[in-house]
Structure 1
Amino acid sequence: MTMGQHTRWIVSALLMGILLGVPGCKDLREVDDLNIVLAVGIDETQDQRIRVTTEIVDPANSRGPSSGAGTGKRDEATITRQQTGSTIEEAVGLLDEEVPRKLFLAHNSVIIFGHNYATHGIDRALDYLERNRSYRRNQLFVVTDGTASDLMTSSVTPEFYHATAMRSLVEQGMHKSTAVNSTQLSFMKQYLRPSHTPAMARLETAKNGIVPEGIGLFDGGQYKDYLTSAEVPALLRFMQDTQQTEITIPCTNKETPQGDMSQTYRILHTHTNVTPQVHGNEIRFFVNVRGQAEISRLCPGSKPTPQTYSKWEIQLDHTLQEQMQRVFTRLQKDDVDSVHFSDVLYKRNPILWQQMAHQWKELFPHIQVTYDVQVQLLRHGLASKSPDVEYSPEGLPPHAGREGVAP
């Protein structure tokens, strides 16, 4: 044996030894042997038992959205199975025994909590979901005022899967600041903060299927109240930047019937700073909001001028402040610090927060807030007059140019 052959033999032997030592996929399971779960609904029955409903991919009828061949049938793309037990774990275990193939939960996308279960506290579910390695932390949490099983059997046309439709609705709402990011990871971060008041996306059943209905407010793990989609932007302005929201203010023109028309503003974005102010034993919060907006629709007969723009900005600022105060008053009535003022106080003055942490429940309903809301109304080439002003019975052409430009 030559030196080169001897070297190749040694290298081959080493490679074989390494390959023999590499663990194989001994627990590999074929997709056809699994029940891929996309959504899980959790309800509490009248006799305090737990009903778990699952949306499972039906491999025989789910080719449409993935292959693009149009062979899948929307109504048959998934199958719905449910089971009842004394705990979630027991219900899932019974469900796993009942259906052919093993339940595969790693691709689960949505967890839906029914009203009865959520009002009695979802802490028991959080412990199960955090410990179970089968679930990923990016699954979306959703609450409904009905039952999770009803939500999971409602129409989701044009989507094939309920899980996909639910996530799409929530993500669209997040883009317009009418919903919140309530993935498991995000929800748990809020749950563990000093405020202990996480928020969750809220969906309901309607005549035409599933519709977004704002957010659910939680005190710890207990579902306390909700805000509609129209109220959510006011809450979010306390805590984060918002974007693409709309405000409608009724027209006050005498010739316009009351409620017949309104002036609409699109709030392009807002930014908020919240500052705690301590005066002896009294704590106040100063909320500073800055943003930009544009006009989506004018009241009939309105004429944009520097003077009217200033007037509209004041009116818009006042309306935004009223909306925020209305939501805050409601939170104080519910005794739920969903604006996360306690988190702000903890970050700004942790020593003071430690002294007040156990009294916050009693203090929060009496907190006073001072607002400074200023939203700049942009003009970006907006026509100087509304169409009804430009109309001429004589057929005269409209005035040329924009505001401030001579016709």
Structure 2
Amino acid sequence: MLTGCKDLNEVDDLNIVLAMGIDETPDHQVEVSTEIVDPMGARSSSQSGSGGQRDQAKFIRHGVGKTVEEAVDRLDENVARNLFLSHNTVVIFGRAYAEAGIDRSMDYLERNLSLRRNQLWVVTDDTAAHLLEASGKPELYNALAIRSLVEQGVNKSIAINSTQLRVMRDYLRPSHAPNMAYLTVAHSELCECGVGLFDGSHFRGHLTSKDANGLLLFLGPTQQTEYTLPCSSGKSSTDLQNTFRILGTQTKVVPVMKGSEVQFSVQVRGRAEIERLCQGSKTTPDAYKEFETQISSELQQRMQHVMTKLQKDDVDSVQFATLLYRNNPAVWRKISTKWKDTFPTLTVNYDIHIQLLRNGLASKSPDTEFSPQGLPPRAGRRGSAP
């Protein structure tokens, strides 16, 4: 008496796709690569610690066509069992395809009811097929390894959470410059390397993890970021420098009118803690003020470095146009048609202050507290040894 699913299929009749890669071939066709679960291989991999058998948990298949839709159809025709896309968790764009424009695939990815808008979009300077074939150990599947790497980068504010919904929203906003997680392959293994920059739908390069943190400071709260600064004496070694951890920051960006000129005021406030100090450093109130000044200066330098690069490339990845539209729509309507000429010459004013906390700090090295007199007697509680 109960209704059932119209498209009911047994699991044994499906190919479950976990990741999809989109590349452009030398003859300007589209190649779609998929990572598909191998049920028998996954079962044997879970029962064995052998590295060779782990690769049997998945297999990669490719399809080529004039469009993404045609490439997926060719792929479905050439693989036994039907493709099941509802569990797809990652979409990877190869460099050649992304530079030519990812808008060619947006319609398919947005309108296909089998695909979910919380799937992660990733760009690489290699091919998407190569990224899918790289080692993602200890994960069984590269799709899970890619998501895990990006999530770890987001938690340390060196990567961006580029779900499909977020990328599409930034693409449609006035800045028209979405940011995307960027991964590459190093020594046949996945390597998290920062944020991919887009001008509209066209890939315009990437920022390394260090520079990515400077970009993320513009875009909103950051957390758990480590900063290493040289010793004030100038005699620091590579393994002993001043190290601080930024626990969290809050950013406020406001467009300001100076006559007929638009400027942007960037205010950053945050808290940090000491992880390591150079030898001989004193934890006096004056030293704390000096450390706070150094950290604030380092953050400003990173932000200015990123801003200089973005203005040189004329890519509004900091979303200034969107902020201007929200705060002053009347001004935005006047300069929207010439924003591409305005953005490279914008003046940005910075106000950055990081508060250094004083919790759990040991002011002396454990070695300075050592003395033979402080050791317990060898005979225990009854006195010294005979």
Aligned equivalent of 1:11: none
Shift of 1:49: 1.2
Aligned equivalent of 2:160: 180
Q: Say which one has the larger Rg.
A: 1
CA distance in 2: counterparts of 1:38 and 1:157, whole angstroms? 16
Secondary structure, aligned partner of 1:231: helix
CA distance in 1: counterparts of 2:329 and 2:311, whole angstroms? 23
1:244 aligned to which of 215, 224, 231: 224
Determine if contact 2:230/2:236 at 8 Å carries over to the other structure.
no
Question: 1:294 aligned to 2:268?
Answer: no
CA distance in 2: counterparts of 1:350 and 1:395, whole angstroms? 74
CA distance in 2: counterparts of 1:123 and 1:255, whole angstroms? 52
Aligned equivalent of 2:142: 162
Runs of 4+ that moved beyond 4 A = 68-72, 394-397
CA RMSD of aligned residues (A): 1.9
1:344-373 C-alpha deviation (Å, 9 max, x unpaired): 111111111111111111000000111110
CA distance in 1: counterparts of 2:298 and 2:364, whole angstroms? 24
Aligned equivalent of 1:40: 20
Determine if contact 1:302/1:386 at 8 Å carries over to the other structure.
no
Secondary structure, aligned partner of 1:189: helix
Query: Within 5 Å, which residues of 2 pair with 1:348-359?
Result: 348-359=327-338
Aligned equivalent of 1:140: 120
CA distance in 1: counterparts of 2:373 and 2:281, whole angstroms? 20
Determine if contact 1:141/1:183 at 8 Å carries over to the other structure.
yes
1:278 aligned to which of 248, 257, 279: 257
Shift of 1:309: 0.7
Shift of 1:239: 1.6
1:244-282 C-alpha deviation (Å, 9 max, x unpaired): 00111112315445x564211100000011111112221
**Gap change, CA 1:254 and 1:106, over 3 Å in 2:** closer
Give the aligned length.
Answer: 372
CA distance in 2: counterparts of 1:27 and 1:114, whole angstroms? 33
CA distance in 1: counterparts of 2:306 and 2:47, whole angstroms? 49
Shift of 1:27: 2.5
Query: Within 5 Å, which residues of 2 pair with 1:85-234?
Result: 85-207=65-187, 209-234=189-214
Report the AA paired with residue 377 of structure 1: L
CA distance in 1: counterparts of 2:329 and 2:44, whole angstroms? 55
Determine if contact 1:105/1:135 at 8 Å carries over to the other structure.
yes
TM-score w.r.t. length of structure 2: 0.92
TM-score w.r.t. length of structure 1: 0.87
CA distance in 2: counterparts of 1:327 and 1:126, whole angstroms? 28
Secondary structure, aligned partner of 1:63: helix
Report the AA paired with residue 92 of structure 1: V
Query: Within 5 Å, which residues of 2 pair with 1:250-329?
Result: 250-256=230-236, 261-329=240-308
CA distance in 1: counterparts of 2:352 and 2:221, whole angstroms? 14
Aligned equivalent of 1:403: none
Shift of 1:28: 1.0
CA distance in 2: counterparts of 1:64 and 1:328, whole angstroms? 51
CA distance in 1: counterparts of 2:139 and 2:81, whole angstroms? 25
Question: 1:60 aligned to 2:34?
Answer: no
CA distance in 2: counterparts of 1:313 and 1:385, whole angstroms? 21
CA distance in 2: counterparts of 1:177 and 1:198, whole angstroms? 17
Determine if contact 1:42/1:52 at 8 Å carries over to the other structure.
yes
Secondary structure, aligned partner of 1:145: coil
